[in-house]
Structure 1
């Protein structure tokens, strides 16, 4: 009897696990959506023929936040507050629920989203909210070795008022892997594209740097691309084993101020930063 119950338990567990995976739909190729119909995805990249500069008179404000799939009731109020003065908001773990969709339709934002996967027909991934449209945005996927569900990234290019182009990467790093081979490959794929950028660059998001070896990969990536990490006056970023998970790197811009305030609206705290365009190519960062 006990043996039969054990087999039944294993069978039921297999049914549950299979049912969960059937509820997920993973795209075969990277998919990106933009505009009012953010749930309608095209393959890999979207472009806009004309776009206005994203900065305001040489100043650029940015918010970076893992929004935790909006699982906490206060996400809406917190997002409105954190992004009130932002020109660009980079969200990770955005889940395109009816509530988020309604907020986006009623907001001032230009919206671009990478579809990492859908769960019960609801897309989830990284999302850019910007004051102005990007000239071009491409989606990238990196599959979690254990879960086999992707993490996503968006690489966008925004015009600046000085005639240059800002390259922005919104990244959600691979999490469930003890080794760093897949993690390093995720950053290497983006480095190939960032290395082609001639203007300013911002790379930010939830990097899942919860151990020293992962942080070493990120530091190598930053050194390769001459990126600087934003130093925060109030650094209350979520940490695991002493390592912060969220980061904001930049080059070709002057950092005016950055902070990571506390919130209970997610399991991550946001990074809020303000930059100024360099006055000349010879100016120091």
Structure 2
């Protein structure tokens, strides 16, 4: 009898785990982007398109916040996000959980944007989120499955109008984390680099790259070097680091003038934010 119980126990545990997984998480059948705006109401789409985009910069200035906000799990996330966003025209957030509190914060700040679900947890979207005071020209969804956790990571490829008549391409990424090698990591970044390679104007590539190994750094830089981008250098630089000292968060840019970049300390997430100021080329 005891032997039967011991044999059956792993099956029971496995079934219970699978049931809990499907109860908590809902995975999209394909990559989809949702649009958040008081002005428009669109269904979830592979790509959102806007025929009449408005420039997002402020008289040639473009201040950008890049931040993994840890699903707003820290109690002071709202105060910190309000402070960090006050002089920004573009927010690129990773691990955003579209809770009622975050949706209220977006509405109160008159932000608009797009979120790509990596998954829904108890019907609440979680993924990468772009916010600006104007909607993009286009926003497309990308996801890549985590081999171990079996939960996707997400990315947005978006384009925005600028006041100098150029179009800015932006990638906001939360990269694959737990893998044995770099195959899935390469595939995720290569898809985005391929999309960016078709763009002739300025660009920003930013987010949580989970670049915790030299091999991952090499993959990341080999793909992005082909795009002619530079990496922002931060003063101070308090970006989150892996135990080996490698930073996980990055911002690369092209066709813009970098004026300043800093990565201050914040206890409102398990990552510190990156604040980067650009000036448009005339």
Map of 1:268 onto structure 2: 271
Map of 2:281 onto structure 1: 278
Structure 1 residues 214, 41: CA separation in 2 closer, same or farther (over 3 Å shift)? farther
Map of 1:148 onto structure 2: 150
Structure 1 residue 121 displacement after superposition: 0.9
Structure 1 residue 105 displacement after superposition: 2.0
| SS of equivalent to 1:235 | coil
TM-score by length of 2: 0.94
Query: Could you list the per-position Cα deviations for residues 147-205 of structure 1 after superposition, in whole angstroms to 9, with x for gaps in the alignment?
Result: 22111100111011111100000001000102001100111101111001111000000
**Contact 1:31 1:41 (8 Å CA) reproduced:** no
Map of 1:94 onto structure 2: 96
Structure 1 residues 39, 10: CA separation in 2 closer, same or farther (over 3 Å shift)? farther
Map of 2:18 onto structure 1: 18
TM-score by length of 1: 0.93
Query: Could you list the per-position Cα deviations for residues 31-72 of structure 1 after superposition, in whole angstroms to 9, with x for gaps in the alignment?
Result: 111133799742211112212111111110000000101111
Structure 1 residues 162, 239: CA separation in 2 closer, same or farther (over 3 Å shift)? same
Structure 1 residues 276, 72: CA separation in 2 closer, same or farther (over 3 Å shift)? same
Query: Could you list the per-position Cα deviations for residues 120-157 of structure 1 after superposition, in whole angstroms to 9, with x for gaps in the alignment?
Result: 11111100011211011101111111122111100111
Q: Could you list the runs of 5+ residues in structure 2 that have no partner in the other structure?
A: none
Q: How does 1:54-203 map to 2 (within 5 A)?
A: 54-203=56-205
d(CA) in 1 for partners of 2:8, 2:42: 42
Structure 1 residue 96 displacement after superposition: 1.0
Is 1:242 aligned to residue 245 of structure 2?
yes
d(CA) in 2 for partners of 1:8, 1:60: 60
Is 1:47 aligned to residue 49 of structure 2?
yes
Structure 1 residue 78 displacement after superposition: 0.8
Q: Could you list the runs of 5+ residues in structure 1 that have no partner in the other structure?
A: 280-285
The partner residue of 1:220 within 219, 222, 225 is 222
Give the RMSD, CA atoms, in angstroms.
1.7
d(CA) in 2 for partners of 1:39, 1:124: 19
